[in-house]
Structure 1
C-alpha cells in the first residue's frame, strides 16, 4: 500500500489520540480500512477532510462537538494510517460513498450530521444527495456543489483557467502520489478551454 502523509503527520496523530478526550480506531470502509479519531457520545457528527489534510484538520471541532455528540473524523482512502489502494477505481465515488456507509454502520448510526471540507465536501454533497435519509444535517466548507462545478468548468473561462492542476492530476504519468487517484477517478474532468468543453 502506498502512503500519502509523512512521519510528522504520524507524530501529530499520536499526539491528538493521546489526548484523554480522544480515542482512535479503525472502521471497515468500501475496500479500505479507515483510521478515525473520535470524541464524545451522542448523535453522530462525521467530519470528512480534503487534501492535503487528514482527521487532524478537525481537532478543535472534535473537542468542541464531542461535548454533546459522537464526533468522528476519519482519514480517507489514501491517507495513512488508513489503507491507500493503488488502483484508480478504489477512489471512484461509489467506493467513497461506501466508506461513509461503513462509518455510519461501524458506529451503529442510521443518520449523522455530515461535515465536509474540500474533497471531503464533494463526497459529502454526493452522499447527502444520494442518501438523504442517512443525513440529518449537511455542512460544507470550501467545496462547490458538483453540479455547479460541472457547469462552471464547461462554461466559464475563469474557472477553467483556475483549475489547470486538476488536468495535470488526470494526465500525470505514473508513478504519482496515490491521492492523485481522487482526481483521476472523478467523473468531472476539467477541459483546457471552452472549445474542448463543447466537444465533451
Structure 2
C-alpha cells in the first residue's frame, strides 16, 4: 500500500504512526496539495492528504477512514476497540483531536495564504477558541496511559502539530496533558520517528 502524504501534515502523521503500531508496511510518496498537476486530485477529488492507494480497491482518504482500514487489515480491535463504550470513547477522542488539528491548520493557512492586511482576526480567534475549549476538557480528564488507540495517536499528533506550527504555547496551561504527551513516545512505536520538520 502507498500513502500520499506531506511530512508536516498531522493527519498524515496519524496514519503513519497507526501503521507503525500495527506493523502494517506503507510505501511513502509525498504529495503537493497546491500543485494542480499532482495526481492526488485524481486520487482524491477533494485534493487533500493523506491518501491510501491500495492494489485491491479504490483509494481511501480522510485519516480516520485510513486508520480504521489499517486496523481492519491488522485484524481489528487494536487501535479501535470493538466493545461499544470503549469504541465510541476512542472515536470521540479521535474526533476531538482531529478538530484541534483542523483548527490549528486553519490558523496557519489564514496567515500563509492571505496578505497580512486581509487576515481575519475573528476567524483566527474562532479557531483558537476551538483549541482552547478542547484542551481544557482534556486537561480536566486526560486519556488513560495504556496501549495507544486511534484517539491517543490523533491527540499526540495534534500536540506535535501545536508544537511544530504554534510554538508549543499550549503547554503552559496544560500540565496534565504535557505529562501525558511526554510519556507517549515510550508506549507508541513510530511516534518519534514521524516528527514533522
Normalising by structure 2, we get a TM-score of 0.28
